[in-house]
Amino acid sequence: MIKDFILLPLKEMRRRKLRSWLTLIGVIIGMAAVVSLITLGQGLENAIADQFDALGNDKLFITAKGNSLTPGLSIDAVKITQKDLDVVRSTSGIKEATGLIFSTARVEFNDNVRYFFVSGMPTELEERKLIGESQSYHLLKGRWLESGDNFKAVAGFLYTEDNLFGKEADLGDKILIQDTSFKLVGFWERIGSPPDDQSISIPIDAYQEIFNKPDEFGLLIAQTNTGDDPEKVAAQVEKELRKSRNVEEGKEDFSIETPAELAETFSTILNIVQWVLIGIAGISLFVGGIGIMNTMYTAVLQRTKQIGVLKALGAQRKHILTLFLIESGFYGLGGGLIGVAIGLFFAKMVEFALVAAIGPAFLSLEINLWLIVGTLIFSFVVGCLSGIAPARRASRLNPVDSLRYE
């Protein structure tokens, strides 16, 4: 019996192709929006999780309060200095610690001037390693900055392409940073985010000299001993820094973050953004549902005579109700099917475009089977719900009047 109650509505939908398609479009747009936004959101979340995994969870990041990990933007008088770095280093549970500093700077090459991030990096081997690990720096060619490299620089990946300065930079080229000449000794591999790939690294001594910041770090990175709980070590570092900086508990002018905390912050923000987007997509889905309702009301009018005939032939209210509900459910389901396909396709296109434009680090898409199944069920339910009122009207039509209806 079920089969008949599925085939009949399908035949009706096929008969009115244009109207069926127009109805479907409403649902398709809503569903495609929901699916692509959720997929992209999850892709973003995955990518961020991957980044934090790469970071390792044994790292601590210490910044002056008010500074975030976005460097160089601080105008606060609060500074992180060599003294702080020494305190961190000597805290028990810390294996290694280093500091770096960054800001935007005037970069001149091939007679072009642009403003990019410049970071002052340590040149000691162990410290370099820590930076490389936590900031995803890997050498593409050339070498790292070493002790005694005063005016040498390692440039980001995009310097190897000609669209930054109209000419590819190469090892040995001279580049002007804040009007001081640096010799390129290496290039980083692509990190995946343009600000990173456009940045340039110089020895921290040179940085402090040309920016006139003799004793200042933007960020301290510390690595905890294997086996020690990073959270506990972080608490210990906090205590030591409070003591040396002479601040009370609760009034710290610095902050310590662990990757776990950072990841949590990111995913909270991402979740909020995602729910807002899904809410917007939900509105379009609601509009799609109204479209189905409208179509079904029209269908009831157009098929009044047919309903009368079906009733004369012995159809009860429940039969008519079922037929119309299934039809509207199909509008939902059909729209859902096409919407899911388009949504996934769209998400893939966005991934493709993003990877082509700025590298692979931003998005790691994953086709979520539950999302698809859930969307299809949901769209069928939306269709059915939209059809309830029209189907009830159809089922309650008086057979005599409907038979007379022309």
CB of 310 to another protein, least distance (A): 8
Among 315, 354, 365, 372, binds another protein (CB under 8 A): 315
**Cα-to-chain-centroid distance, residue 367:** 15
The nearer residue to another protein, 113 or 400, going by C-beta atoms, is 400
CB of 297 to another protein, least distance (A): 20
* Distance of alpha carbon 23 from alpha carbon 250, whole angstroms: 59
The nearer residue to another protein, 13 or 221, going by C-beta atoms, is 13
* Distance of alpha carbon 104 from alpha carbon 199, whole angstroms: 9
CB of 300 to another protein, least distance (A): 16
CB of 26 to another protein, least distance (A): 23
Contact 71, 102 (CB under 8 A): yes
Among 319, 325, 358, 386, binds another protein (CB under 8 A): 319
CB of 344 to another protein, least distance (A): 33
Cα→Cα distances 172→58, 141, 183, 335, Å: 36, 12, 6, 59
Contact 323, 10 (CB under 8 A): no
CA torsion 270→136→58→220, rounded to 10°? -90
CB of 307 to another protein, least distance (A): 11
Tell me, by CB under 8 A, how many residues bind another protein.
26
Residues of span 11-30 touching another protein by CB under 8 A: 11-12, 14-15
CB of 356 to another protein, least distance (A): 48
In this structure, what are the phi and psi dihedrals at residue 110, rounded to the nearest 5 degrees?
55, 35
Among 246, 250, 314, 369, binds another protein (CB under 8 A): 314
User: Does 318 participate in binding another protein (rule CB under 8 A)?
Assistant: yes
* Contact range with another protein by CB under 8 A, out of 163-171, 224-232, 308-316, 363-371: 308-316
* Distance of alpha carbon 100 from alpha carbon 204, whole angstroms: 7
402 by Cβ neighbours in 10 Å (0-12 / 13-18 / 19+) ranks as: buried
Among 305, 342, 389, 392, binds another protein (CB under 8 A): 305
Among 317, 350, 355, 376, binds another protein (CB under 8 A): 317
CB of 312 to another protein, least distance (A): 5
Contact 397, 235 (CB under 8 A): no
User: Does 316 participate in binding another protein (rule CB under 8 A)?
Assistant: yes
Among 309, 381, 385, 389, binds another protein (CB under 8 A): 309
* Contact range with another protein by CB under 8 A, out of 58-66, 184-192, 310-318, 386-394: 310-318
Contact 363, 328 (CB under 8 A): no
Report helix, strand and coil shares of the chain as percent, to nearest 5: 60, 15, 25
* Contact range with another protein by CB under 8 A, out of 32-40, 150-158, 223-231, 305-313: 305-313
Cα→Cα distances 138→60, 97, 171, 399, Å: 20, 19, 16, 79
Contact 27, 339 (CB under 8 A): yes
User: Does 142 participate in binding another protein (rule CB under 8 A)?
Assistant: no
- Element (DSSP H or E) covering residue 185: strand 180-188
Residues of span 346-405 touching another protein by CB under 8 A: 398-400, 403
Contact 107, 155 (CB under 8 A): no
* Contact range with another protein by CB under 8 A, out of 126-134, 171-179, 307-315, 348-356: 307-315
Contact footprint for another protein (CB under 8 A):
1, 3-5, 8, 11-12, 14-15, 305-306, 309-319, 398-400, 403
